[in-house]
Structure 1
Amino acid sequence: MSIETLRAALPDAAKDIRLNLSTVFTAEGAPDLTDGQRAAIALAVAYATRNDRVATAVEAETSELLDNQHREAARIAATLMAMNNVYYRFIHLAEDEALRKLPARLRMNGLAQHGIAKLDFELMALAVSAVNGCGMCIESHIHEVRKHGASDLAIQSSARIAAVLVATAQALSLPA
């Protein structure tokens, strides 16, 4: 399945999503990111949507742009952020200083051992954190990507890719 097939499958209620889906893979639609960064972010987000159709289409769309290390890093970003975003969102929302001071005791070696450029991984983690709604993680990843030279436009582009792919997954689950 390709992105074009996915676009064609979207219902009329999602015509804006259909249009946005055609642009987020381009430099015009997601500026200040390289083709590889757009592809890696999209793949990590596709996995985070938990929608097989979206994941399959994005895998096909990005297959020529990403090597095995980037594909594996996208899986790492999606799965580690699934865990971290739940935990740190809980810590943030609990507003309990005693809980905040406790060690997380969660294994997170993949955050440092992903095999790709730190900026690229952090952009993926940022986008997945946006999908999962963890403000603490979003703030942390924005800090990291800025430290590695990402512009505000690149940060926004990462979030836009996430927004469009999540909306695509949602639209595909609407009853006919």
Structure 2
Amino acid sequence: MSIEALKAQIPDFAKDVRLNLGAIANDESLGEQTKYGLLLACAIATRNAEVAAAFDAEAVTRLSPEARDAARAAAAVMAMNNVYYRFVHLASNPVYKTLPAKLRMNVIASPGAPKADFELWCLAVSAINGCGACVDAHEKALLASGVTQESAQTAVRFAAILQSAAIALEAAKLPVLA
């Protein structure tokens, strides 16, 4: 499935989502690898098979196998980290902040894609997953590496659009009650 096929599945009540998906397709503010790795990682993070399939189909022709795996790894490692660090951040017991995480996350050091791309993908996935601690950590790393605030904002905007597409598709499956 392509982005265009996905757009065609978005119901009329979510016309803005269709328009925003179209804007993503035409947005050239990020390089191709950065953009399509970001879209794939975010699509996976939405936990919607249709959205993930559509963006994987787009990524397969635009990303190397290593970059595709890196995008998948960003979604996977952030699924773990976002749960853990959101808990540590939200827990009122300060002891959790002092304990070692004991979570394997070697992929962050060697992701198989440029470090700035991977950090941007992790930022966007963390925004979808609602982990403020991870959002702050990845945004800080991005800015330190020279990535602009505009690029970070674009990444999170794309994440928001993909999440809204996933929700619109799920909402369309609800039965119509008279």
Secondary structure at the aligned position of 1:24 is classed as helix
Name the counterpart of 2:145. Answer: 148
TM-score (norm 1): 0.95
Letter in 1 for 2:85: Y
Residues in 1 aligned to 2:59 and 2:107: alpha-carbon distance in whole angstroms: 22
Partner of 1:47: 44
Q: Structure 2 CA distance, aligned partners of 1:27 and 1:18? A: 14
**TM-fit CA distance, 1:111:** 1.0
Normalization by structure 2: what TM-score? 0.94
Paired letter, 2:22: S
CA RMSD between the two structures: 1.1
- Cα displacement string for residues 25-74 of structure 1 (whole angstroms, at most 9, x for unaligned residues): 3335xx3x212111110000111111111111101122221100110001
Residue 24 of structure 2 aligns with an amino acid whose one-letter code is: V
**Among 101, 105, 122, the residue aligned to 2:102:** 105
Q: How does 1:53-132 map to 2 (within 5 A)?
A: 53-132=50-129
The aligned counterpart of 2:23 is 23
Moved over 4 A (4+): none
5+ residue gaps, structure 2, are: none
Between Structure 1 and Structure 2, how many residues are aligned? 173
- What is the CA-CA distance between 1:22 and the residue it aligns to? 0.6
Kindly provide the amino acid, as one letter, of the partner of residue 56 in structure 1: A
Point out where structure 1 has 5 or more consecutive residues left out of the alignment. none
Distance 2:154 2:69 in 1: 22
**Counterparts of 1:136 and 1:124, CA distance in 2:** 15
